[in-house]
Amino acid sequence: MKQDDLIKAKNPDLRGSLAAMQRAAQSARDIAIQTNTAIIVVRNGQRIRITAAELRKERERNAPGALDN
């Protein structure tokens, strides 16, 4: 299903699943940073390994008050 399909779904559990997946993804990133391990994600059909160092940099860039580059 696409993101728009989930948002418009009649089933409330299905509608809430997008937010749940986003929370789970953030939790995985947090744990990877805490344990200094990488995560594997799929972007555009390609598996990508993101190291804890890269996740820390991403978090710093997206932090409230971070300067836009």
- Compare 4 and 25 and report the one with higher pLDDT: 25
pTM of the model: 0.75
Residue range(s) defining the domain that contains residue 42: 3-62
For residue 30, what are the CA distances in angstroms to 40, 43, 52?
A: 14, 19, 9
* 69 within some domain: no
Q: How many domains does the chain have?
A: 1
The answer to whether the beta carbons of residues 18 and 24 sit under 8 Å apart is no
Q: Mind listing the pLDDT tens digit for each residue in 11-68?
A: 888 888 888 989 999 999 999 999 999 999 999 999 999 999 999 999 999 888 866 6
pLDDT at 69: 52
* 68 within some domain: no
* 23 within some domain: yes
Specify burial of residue 27 (Cβ count, 10 A radius: 0-12, 13-18, 19+): exposed
